[in-house]
């Protein structure tokens, strides 16, 4: 992936974080912070932290490439069987927030993180369960070792991923209708990179910067995805609807291939071409035969164009 496209990808995340830190909505009435700093505990790095979760692909996208999105979830009975709304970001980069109407929001993206994103978010959920309406939890540092999302969330409790143009989910409908908040929400929307799901294509996200791109979060093991991409590249059948492969992201154990689209292409226009291309990509990924010399060269080229998202 070119340096130019790397800067574009990074800009998408920065604009979302800027909206959160700039106060795009009314601040909570009170905030809770954990106990004073203590000696730092070393958390082992987990390359694929959301592995085993039904919503792994959605969580990776929320944590790494989406500016504004929500995903409904529910804790297990051991953790109260409570409804939780997982979000990309919250005001002031808070870790958790309980809205005035009692809805608990928990952020996937904060300033402080450990080497295990699953542990981080689980710790924010546990802190959020104790919040009263109007209170927020500011992450003081990395958490201690403890339960992970695989332990805290009900595997059957995930809802559908929702993308948003404005951070209206930060507040109640009544609060969002107030003039000051309406203006702030509109200002936040103008700063964000437009992103949409490609209809009917799981894990595919269209975005518009100075050009249009699609990022396709693949759930398969990373090496298998790279092998599959190499097979298609060597065969020449490596694009759809006039697109051009430009590289891939390494994100929390998954691979996110990126294609540059024809200028002006819209998300809805990709539904058919990507649906036709998907079986070819899936078959190439599923193939377990050894790569040919040409495919190995193609794979090396793809690997050289990967960017790690952290």
CATH numbers and ranges of domains, the chain: 3-22+44-192 (no CATH), 197-308 (3.30.1460)
Q: Where are the beta strands (DSSP E) in the chain?
A: 30-33, 69-74, 83-87, 96-98, 104-107, 135-138, 162-163, 195-197, 204-208, 212-216, 244-251, 254-260, 306-308
Residue pLDDT, tens place only, 133-149: 999 999 998 899 999 99
Residue 231: strand, helix, or coil:
helix
The predicted structure's pLDDT at residue 181: 81
Task: State the pLDDT confidence band at 215, using cuts at 50, 70 and 90.
Answer: very high
Whole-model pTM? 0.86
Among 12, 131, 158, 161, residue whose Cα is nearest residue 74: 158
Confidence of residue 223 (pLDDT cuts 50, 70, 90): very high
Task: Please give the share of the chain, as a percent, with pLDDT higher than 70.
Answer: 87
Express each pLDDT in 19-68 by its tens digit.
554 444 444 445 555 555 556 678 899 999 999 999 999 999 999 999 99
Distance of alpha carbon 162 from alpha carbon 62, whole angstroms = 10
Q: What is the per-residue pLDDT for 121? A: 98
Q: Could you give phi then psi for residue 178, rounded to 5 degrees? A: -70, 140
- What's the confidence (pLDDT) of residue 176? 83
pLDDT at 212 over 90: yes
């Amino acid at each position: 992936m070119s340096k130019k496209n790397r800067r574009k990808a990074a800009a998408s995340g920065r604009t979302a974080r800027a909206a959160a830190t700039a106060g795009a909505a009314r601040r909570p009435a009170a905030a809770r912070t954990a106990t004073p700093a203590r000696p730092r505990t070393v958390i082992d790095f987990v390359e694929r932290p959301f592995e085993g979760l039904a919503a792994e692909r959605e969580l990776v996208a929320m944590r790494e490439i989406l500016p504004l999105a929500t995903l409904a979830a529910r804790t297990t009975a051991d953790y109260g069987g409570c409804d939780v709304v997982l979000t990309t970001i919250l005001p002031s980069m808070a870790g958790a927030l309980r809205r005035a109407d009692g809805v608990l929001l928990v952020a996937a993206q904060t300033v402080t993180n450990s080497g295990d994103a699953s542990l981080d978010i689980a710790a924010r959920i546990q802190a959020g369960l104790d919040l009263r309406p109007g209170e927020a939890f500011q992450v003081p540092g990395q958490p201690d070792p403890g339960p992970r999302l695989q332990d805290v969330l009900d595997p059957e409790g995930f809802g559908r991923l929702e993308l948003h143009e404005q951070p209206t989910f930060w507040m109640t409908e009544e609060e969002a209708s107030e003039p000051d908040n309406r203006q702030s929400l509109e200002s936040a929307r103008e700063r964000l990179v437009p992103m949409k799901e490609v209809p009917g294509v799981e894990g595919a996200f269209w975005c518009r910067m100075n050009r249009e791109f699609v990022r396709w979060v693949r759930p398969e093991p990373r090496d298998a995805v790279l092998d599959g991409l190499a097979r298609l590249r060597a065969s020449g059948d490596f694009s759809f609807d006039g697109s051009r492969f430009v590289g891939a992201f390494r994100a929390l154990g998954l691979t996110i291939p990126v294609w540059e689209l024809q200028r002006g292409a819209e998300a809805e226009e990709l539904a058919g071409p990507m649906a036709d291309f998907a079986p070819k990509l899936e078959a190439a990924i599923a193939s377990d035969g050894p790569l040919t010399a040409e495919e190995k060269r193609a794979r090396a080229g793809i690997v050289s164009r990967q960017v790690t998202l952290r």
